[in-house]
Each structure stands twice: as C-alpha cells, then as structure tokens.
Structure 1
Amino acid sequence: MRVLVAPDKFAGTLTAVEAAEAIAAGWRRHAPDDELDLAPMADGGPGFVDVVHTALGGELEVVTVRGPAGDPTPAAFLVAREQGDGGTAYVEAAQACGLHLVPVEQRDPERATSYGVGELLAAAVDAGVSRVVLGLGGSGTNDAGAGLLAALGATHTGGTLEEGPLGLEGVSAVALAPARARLGEVEVVVASDVDNPLLGLLGATKIYGPQKGVAEERISTLDALLEGFARATAPRSISTPGAGAAGGLGFALIALGAARRPGIDVVSEACSLAERARAADLVITGEGAFDFSSRSGKVPSGVAAVAASAVRPCVAIAGAVLLGSREMRTMGVEAAYALVDVVGEEAAFADPAGSLATVAERVARSWSR
C-alpha cells in the first residue's frame, strides 16, 4: 500500500518535517511493508522555507535583519534556480517578524516593526532572481507593512514607518516609487492563507491583534492608526482580500504590486502534491488543532482537496479535533484522529513526536491493507 503523508506543523511542538517523520515511524510499526511518501506542507507561515527546501533543494542564504523588537535577527531565504531563468527566491516573513522571536513578557505589538521583512525581501532581490515568493503568517507585528516599506526605501511625511503602529501617528503621505524601484523587475508573489481586509471587524487588528498581545481597549486606536497610514499610502488596497495578512504586511505588498496566491497552492505545486497523490492509495494530513479555521486555506483543506481531485481517501491526525464528521467530510476528510483522545493532553505535550507516532500506528491498523 502506498501512503502519502502530508501534514502541516504542529504549532509550538513539531515542524512539518518532524510531524511527517513521526507519522511515518508510527505507521511502520504496524505496516512495515507499506510504501510511505513524506511531503511535509506549509501555508506560508513558519516552516515555509524549510518545507520548500525539502521539496526543491536549492541554496539557503542567511542574512541578519532587524527583528520585530529591533534586535539583530538571523534569517534565511531559499534560492531555487532552473536552467534558463533567474530562479525563484522563497522568503518566510516569520523569520524576520515572527511572534516566536520575542518572549511573551517582552512583546509590544504597538511598537513591533516589519522592517526586517523588507530587508529580507531586498536581500532576496539582490540574489539575482526573477521571482520572489514571500510566505506570510505567524507574524508578531501589526504595522500594515510600514516597516517593510521603509526598509525598501519608501519615503514619507510626518510620523515614522519604523516603530510599529504607534509611529504611524501623523503620517500624512507615503511615496512608494522608491520601494517599487528597489524591487525592479522582480515579480513578487505573496503566499498566504488569509483573505482578511486590512481594517474593520474582519481586519488585521481586530482578528489577529489579540493573539499578538494587543489589549482589547487598544484595538480601535491601532485600527485608526493603520487606517490613517493606509489612506496616505494606497487607499485602493485597503479592502483587497489578503491585505490584513501578517499584521497588514499583505497590504504593503499588494500596494507594491505583488500578486497573491494561497500559500497551500504554492507549496503543493513545489511539492508536486497532485502527482504524488495520484500515485498513492491513501493521503494523510494533519496539524496541531483541526478546527473551524482548518476549513479554508489551511493545509488540511488544501491537501484534502488535492486528494479528492485524485479520487483518493484522506484522513487527518491532529493534536485536537474540534470539527464534526459532517464538517470534515465537507472538506473531503474521511476521518480525523486526535492525540489528546488517545494519549491524553499531558502526554501529547510532553512527547509530541512519540504521541503522534502512537496515534499513527493506530490509524494504520484501520487503514492499511
């Protein structure tokens, strides 16, 4: 039997690569003769570069950029070249502005900057590629990409672009021409699973601000600061789907002319997932929490869609499963298995790889021939 193993990361515990290996280890305990094809996945957030590197190879370039709190931070991007073109650079915004880069007690989303993402993007452009794919997700910033624009050379009147949303007070005009010139003829593609607009009840601050540490009573103030900056920069991009991704990084990149694609589609193509699904008898996916958000744009829904197109059954393994069977089957997932139900919450967090392998072994008993 041929099994395609295509999980996302288990946030906070396992990378996608580690999760795929743990599932494979558990499966082999029960069915050692099955042929396992490991295809770790990502949707543009943390782990994006590692996953694409695993699939495509290429060269990793390491640079030092400004982190979300202003500290020097190492970050890597991938350069993958094909004969006859300048190649593609894959960049992960979270490596420069990720929430994980700042300890909880030191987080200040009102001052956190995306400046380092602009530095990382500029370094990728300087590598001589013809295209840059920038994965968004997992950011600790909420500055509408103002820092990124500053790093690329955008000029402004009033305020400052480099000190998070609080620095945006008083910004009355932003000139994007220098930033566009810095990118030159390089095509920029945004890989993101988020389609939120920049502002309002479904915007970056309201929906994602609290998980970054924005206090409830500060949401309207920060949203107003982002609105003033956005109207001074590129008002037509404010309501564009995806503008609210990664604390508004989507807005800045769209304003610069970047195209947007679902991150799972970008990774699926890089991994040749459709072809590999057709060669499999079963597809396994997974993530930390299989819940309502998994139904749109996330790795499980993307993998399930690929499996459905290949007419292959798809099952999911997750830390916790919070969807009913009807919702899962609407996604194309036949069944889902939770670590917390099998080994308990304490064990799942104490030994995530071992727990995942244990559950995968049980799944193999039901699904392997």
Structure 2
Amino acid sequence: MRVLLCPDKFAGTLPAQEVAQAVAAGWRTVAAADDLLIRPLADGGPGFVAVLADALGGRRVPVPTVDPLGRPAPGEILLTPDGTAYLESAQACGLHLLAAAERDPKTTTSYGLGLLVAAALEHGARTVVIGLGGSATNDAGAGLLTALGVTPLDGTGQALPYGGAALTAVAALDGVPRLRAATLVAATDVDNPLLGLHGASNVYGPQKGADRADVLLLDAALERFAAVLEKDLPGCPAGLGALPGGGAAGGLGAAILALGGRCESGIGLVTRAIGLDAALDAADLVITGEGSFDHQSLRGKVVAGVAGAARDRGLPCVVVAGRVATGRREAATAGVTDTYSLVDHYGGEERGGLEAAMTRPAEGLRELGARLARQWSR
C-alpha cells in the first residue's frame, strides 16, 4: 500500500517532520512492506524554512536576530541557487518565544524579522519569501521597516519606541528602504486586511495578549500608520488598510505590500516545492494532521488543502491531531475520511489526555500509527 504522510507541525510539541516520522514508525511495526512517503508541510508559520529546506535543498545560513522583546534569538535563512531566500517571521516574532506573562502586542516588535530580511539581501537574494504566521507582534511591520532603513517618527521628529501602541503618535517616516531591488513575497494563508473588524488587531490581537481596550488602541494606531505609509513611502499602494493579506502576522503583510511586495498562498507555495500533486497521484491513502483540528483548520490551513486535494482524487484522507474539535459532517464535507486524536487516545481530557498529548506526543503518534496500519493497510 502506498501511504502519503504530509502533516503540519503540532504547535508547541513537534515539528512536522517528527510528526510524520512518528506515525510512520508506528505504521511500520504493523505493515512493514507498505510504501510510506513522508512529505511534511507548512503554511508559512513555524517550520516553513525547515520544510522547504528538505524539499529544495539549498544552503541554510544561521543569522543572529532578536525576539519580539529585543532579546538575542537564533534565526536562519534558506538560500537556493535561483537567487531566492526563504525565511519565517516566527523565528524572530513568534508567540512561542515569549512566556505567557510577556505577551503584550502593544510593545512587541518585528525588528528581528527585519534583521533576517537584511541578511538575505546581504547574501544577494533577488527574491525574499517570508513565511508569515505564529507572530506575537501587532506593529504592522514598523520594526521590520526600521531594520530596513525606514524609521517611524512622531510629530517632533523623534523616532518612535517599538511596538504597536507607539504608532498612535506616528506622523512621518525617515529614510528609504534598503531592498537592493529585491522582490518581497509574503507567504500566508490569511487574507484578513490590516484594519477593521476582520483586521489584525481585532482578530488576532486577543491571541497575543490584547484585551478589548488594547484592541481598539492598536487598530487606531495601525490606521494612523497605514495613512503615513501611503503618504510617505514611495510605491505604497492606496487603500493599504483594506488589502487582503495585510493583516497577516500582526500587519506584517501590510508592510510587505507597502514595500511593493505581494502575498502568495503559503500552503500553495510549499505544495509546489515538495511536489505534493505527484505524490497524491501515486498514493492509496493520505495521512495529514496538526496540533488542533478545529473550525479554523478547514479555512485555508494545511489540513484543508490536503483533504480537498485527496477528495478530488477519490482518496481516503485521515487526520491525526493533538485534539479534534471539528464535527464529522463538517470534516467529511472538506474531504476528511476519519480523524484520530491524541487527547482521546490518552483517555480524554477528563483523564489527563491533554497533558499526555502535550508531554508525550511522539509516543502517542507511534501508537496511533500502528492503529492506523491495522485499520487501513491491506
């Protein structure tokens, strides 16, 4: 039997590659003769660079950067022979880099991502593809712009402090972006605009530690910043605050659009890079998954893309997740044949299943892999 394993990461526990390997290890204990093809996936968030490095090769270059609070953090860029650099915002702006008590989108900055972009340009990249997702920031890329030579100023001409809240006082920009004629691409599967009820602050701010008052303050700050970008940044498109994708990663999408870049589907970019269509054409069964399979999973995430492609080919598609919070009917409509939950495997939440799923994910995935083989292998 030909089995394609193409999961996303299990956020907070395992990268996509390890998820796939654990399921495969369990499967092989039951059906060693089956042909297992591992193709881990990412949609632009954490793991984006690692997945593309496995698929494309190229050179992974370590780059020191800073986290959302300005502390030193390790980063890297992937350089490919065609002159493209791939990097991910989560390495510098990731929510996982902060303790729960440190999460405050009023003060967190995207400056570290700007350092990664600058490093890619120093290495001669002609195209810089930035995976957006999992960010702790809500500064519309103000920190990113500062690292690239464009400093937001207040009405007295002073440079603003970092963070989204400071943008309530932004009045002008100083400097020009040092992009060396490179093209920027935002890899994201979020189409939210920068501003408004469906914008970065309202939709994603609360996940990053913002209360209702913070959300209102941040949305007003980003509205002011968008107006200044349109006024002072040459080439910035009109109506920046309403453009699809601008709200990705706390408004980093808007900064990339303002710099003349474009947004592309992160999962689409990755699936092309790893040759997922050909792998699907050759498969008898597809296994995908992510940490939490819920209503958001079926709206542009990795699982939705894989399940839809499997459905179009008449292939069964099984989802393995840390937890499952999607109804069977909704999942089936998206192309999901069956779901398996680590939390349920460990006895359910009331019996400590959630803690076990978080602390022993690889062990549980191996056991689920064996169970899958017993149920699905010929």
Q: With the length of structure 1 as denominator, give the TM-score of the two structures.
A: 0.94
Pick from 330, 351, 376 the counterpart of residue 367 of structure 1: 376
Residue 309 of structure 1 and its aligned partner are, at CA, apart by: 4.1
CA contact (8 A) 2:153 2:160 kept: no
> Counterparts of 2:358 and 2:332 in 1: how far apart (Å)?
28
1:252 paired to 2:255: yes
- Report the equivalent of 1:6: 6
- Report the equivalent of 1:178: 176
1:131 paired to 2:127: yes
Instruction: Look up the equivalent residue of 1:186 and give its one-letter code.
Output: A
Partner SS for 1:3: strand
- Report the equivalent of 2:350: none
- Report the equivalent of 2:235: none
1:188 paired to 2:177: no
- Report the equivalent of 1:349: 358
> Counterparts of 1:91 and 1:165 in 2: how far apart (Å)?
23
Pick from 339, 343, 350 the counterpart of residue 340 of structure 1: 343
> Counterparts of 2:131 and 2:159 in 1: how far apart (Å)?
25
Pick from 315, 318, 331 the counterpart of residue 328 of structure 1: 331
Tell me how many residue pairs correspond in the alignment: 362
> Counterparts of 1:155 and 1:6 in 2: how far apart (Å)?
42
CA contact (8 A) 2:165 2:217 kept: no
- Report the equivalent of 1:73: 73
> Counterparts of 1:201 and 1:216 in 2: how far apart (Å)?
12
CA gap of 1:153–1:162, structure 2 versus 1, over 3 A, is: farther
Pick from 309, 314, 322 the counterpart of residue 319 of structure 1: 322
> Counterparts of 2:17 and 2:195 in 1: how far apart (Å)?
35
1:308 paired to 2:308: no
- Gaps of at least 5 residues in structure 1 are none
- Gaps of at least 5 residues in structure 2 are 231-237, 348-352
Partner SS for 2:181: coil
Residue 61 of structure 1 and its aligned partner are, at CA, apart by: 0.9
Partner SS for 1:238: helix
CA contact (8 A) 1:118 1:147 kept: yes
CA contact (8 A) 1:129 1:186 kept: yes
CA contact (8 A) 2:295 2:325 kept: yes
Could you give the per-residue CA deviations for residues 82-137 of structure 1, whole angstroms, max 9, x where no partner exists? xxx4x211110110111111222233321111011111111112211221110000
Could you give the per-residue CA deviations for residues 211-237 of structure 1, whole angstroms, max 9, x where no partner exists? 111122221112111111111113521
Q: Does 238-247 or 310-319 show the bigger shift?
A: 310-319
Pick from 204, 217, 224 the counterpart of residue 221 of structure 1: 217
Give 1:95-106 correspondences, 5 Å limit. 95-106=91-102
Residue 200 of structure 1 and its aligned partner are, at CA, apart by: 1.5
1:281 paired to 2:284: yes
- Report the equivalent of 1:58: 58
Could you give the per-residue CA deviations for residues 242-273 of structure 1, whole angstroms, max 9, x where no partner exists? 11110110110111111111111111111111
CA contact (8 A) 1:287 1:300 kept: yes
Give 1:237-248 correspondences, 5 Å limit. 237-248=240-251
> Counterparts of 1:24 and 1:198 in 2: how far apart (Å)?
40
Partner SS for 1:312: coil
Could you give the per-residue CA deviations for residues 281-332 of structure 1, whole angstroms, max 9, x where no partner exists? 1111000111100111111011123323444221111111111222112211
Instruction: Look up the equivalent residue of 1:336 and give its one-letter code.
Output: T
CA contact (8 A) 1:305 1:331 kept: yes
Residue 161 of structure 1 and its aligned partner are, at CA, apart by: 5.0
Instruction: Look up the equivalent residue of 1:366 and give its one-letter code.
Output: Q
CA gap of 1:33–1:311, structure 2 versus 1, over 3 A, is: same
Q: Does 148-157 or 1-10 show the bigger shift?
A: 148-157
- Report the equivalent of 2:32: 32
Task: After the TM superposition, list the runs of 4 or more consecutive aligned residues in structure 1 that deviate by more than 4 angstroms.
Answer: none
CA contact (8 A) 1:150 1:162 kept: no
Partner SS for 2:315: coil
Q: Does 150-159 or 357-366 show the bigger shift?
A: 150-159
> Counterparts of 1:141 and 1:308 in 2: how far apart (Å)?
36
> Counterparts of 1:105 and 1:7 in 2: how far apart (Å)?
31
> Counterparts of 2:65 and 2:356 in 1: how far apart (Å)?
37
Residue 174 of structure 1 and its aligned partner are, at CA, apart by: 3.0
- Report the equivalent of 1:163: 162
1:212 paired to 2:208: yes
Instruction: Look up the equivalent residue of 1:340 and give its one-letter code.
Output: V
Pick from 264, 267, 272 the counterpart of residue 261 of structure 1: 264
CA contact (8 A) 1:150 1:161 kept: no
> Counterparts of 1:332 and 1:62 in 2: how far apart (Å)?
39
Instruction: Look up the equivalent residue of 2:54 and give its one-letter code.
Output: T
CA gap of 1:350–1:362, structure 2 versus 1, over 3 A, is: same
CA contact (8 A) 1:147 1:161 kept: no
CA contact (8 A) 1:113 1:162 kept: no
